[in-house]
Amino acid sequence: MGQKIISVEPNSPAAKAGIKACDQLLKINNRIVRDRFDLDYYGSANELSLQFKDPISGTYSISLKRKRKEDLGIDIAPYTPRVCHNNCIFCFIDQMPIGMRESLYLKDDDYIYSLLLGNYITLTNLTNSDYRRIYEQNISPLYISLHSTDMDMRQKLMRYQEPFDILRILLRLAERGIEYHIQIVSVPGYNDKDDLRKTLVELIHNDLPCLSIGIVPVGLTKYREYLSPLKPFDKEGARELLKIVSEVRESYETDIIYPADEFFLLAGEEIPEDEYYQDYPQLENGIGMLRLGWENYRTNSQKLQRALKQKKQQNYRFFSSVAANMQIQKIAADLNASLKEAKIEVQAIRNDFFGAYINVAGLLTYQDLAAQAQLNEAEIAVLPASILNKDNLTLDGHTLDELKSLFRGNLLLINPLFEDWDWV
């Protein structure tokens, strides 16, 4: 038991107290340190009593004081997230080909990641000890992959072994003051229609501390050989789902239920106005991105025009996903009406890599851009920045330099929400 100290920052409170690297940190203020989160949580006090184990001399204790918000100066092993043990019929990771970035294959299902990163968790791998920790440290809000409140339906979708009463768990969390955001991946023929209505009604009727309820359509790639046969939403199904959501919102006078943008596009309906999404609580789930992107564009359009004018006598070609194409066309038309020397063209890129049912910018690949992009001699390419990760790699592992060379070195990356942009 204990966490090995990897390093101690020079001149930090820990260094001044004589704490050494390679020792084991056992407890802080008599609380066992299980991971980096415990170190940050219990180590945030100004007065600390720390217990260590030296590999040679044994256990020892140190007391120290530190200034408010002063970093303790101890670094321990990185946090290792808990992985998912379910076998969901719609799991997107199971539908990815080999050869992608390694991190894309991690099936994390960790409640610490849920709090810190907004990752959705299933709750099926939590122990009584985990719940005690959640209550004690007020690990809230959590982001919960619910899918259905019906025990049989949820087990059918997620294929865990033991029966699991998710509604009882949500009530149990609520009693302890734990709030949560809810995600529902809706699968036609499973948890749509009557089951979806029942789930929404039970969540609202029980007055649970749901901060938001996001509903997204099942994502189906072309790599589904040997997986459960599923079908995507069609126009009729999308319209029916939106009708159910609208009826529940109206009947229960609630405004925390948010269907994904894809449902509105598929149904041929207008994306709701800005007020519909309030503070966009499901934005990380892609819900409301089209509306917020347009609102941000309207706010930042003049700054974007100035950025485009930096390249004299140059035209631009905006490459978009299929899902965002109509909005980018609208933005291009607005820019063309204002820019005198430059002309904006738009080209939507099909997702041939994953298949026709995947149509968002964040899942576009270098391979599809290389195969489809058409750039005229006097044009500069404009791409959604979301096609690159923090290491500037595409989903299929190509570098920013490779992307730039594809477009003759002229490239403007724009945040999908039109918050900022960058010449690269």
> pLDDT tens digit string along 268-309?
999 999 999 999 999 999 999 999 999 999 999 999 999 998
Q: Examine residue 88 and state whether it is found in any structural domain, yes or no.
A: no
pLDDT, tens only, 315-335: 999 999 999 999 999 999 999
Taking the CA atoms of 117, 118, 121 and 123 in sequence, report the sign of the dihedral they define. positive
Residue 61: pLDDT band by 50, 70, 90 thresholds?
Answer: very high
Which of 34, 37, 16, 12 has the alpha carbon at shortest distance from 25? Answer: 34
Which of 123, 131, 91 has the alpha carbon at shortest distance from 107? Answer: 91
Last residue of a domain, one of 44, 76, 108: 76
Average pLDDT over residues 190-214: 96
Which of 241, 111, 146, 173 has the alpha carbon at shortest distance from 155? Answer: 146
Question: How many domains is the chain partitioned into structurally?
Answer: 3
Residue type, 236: E
Regarding whether 177 and 237 lie in a shared domain, the answer is yes
Residue 119: pLDDT band by 50, 70, 90 thresholds?
Answer: very high
pLDDT for 408 equals 86
Regarding whether 278 and 227 lie in a shared domain, the answer is yes
How many other CB atoms are found less than 10 A from the CB of residue 139?
A: 20
Regarding whether 306 and 229 lie in a shared domain, the answer is no
Regarding whether 131 and 15 lie in a shared domain, the answer is no
Please tell me the distance from the alpha carbon of residue 218 to that of residue 3, in angstroms, as a whole number. Answer: 40
pLDDT for 27 equals 95
Task: Evaluate whether 363 touches 226 at the Cβ level (below 8 Å).
Answer: no
Last residue of a domain, one of 11, 44, 76: 76
Regarding whether 376 and 282 lie in a shared domain, the answer is no
pLDDT at 266 over 90: yes
pLDDT for 67 equals 83
Residue 283 tokens, joined: 């934005």
Can you spell out the DSSP letters for 238-263? HHHHHHHHHHHHHHTT---EEE-HHH
Domain, as residue range, for 341: 291-423
pLDDT for 1 equals 66
pLDDT at 368 over 90: yes
pLDDT for 409 equals 78
Regarding whether 176 and 239 lie in a shared domain, the answer is yes
Please tell me the distance from the alpha carbon of residue 272 to that of residue 240, in angstroms, as a whole number. Answer: 17
C-alpha to C-alpha distances, 254 to 34, 246, 257, 325, nearest whole angstrom: 40, 10, 7, 31
pLDDT for 314 equals 84
pLDDT for 2 equals 82
pLDDT for 188 equals 98
What CATH number is given to the structural domain containing 47?
2.30.42.10
Q: Examine residue 81 and state whether it is found in any structural domain, yes or no.
A: no
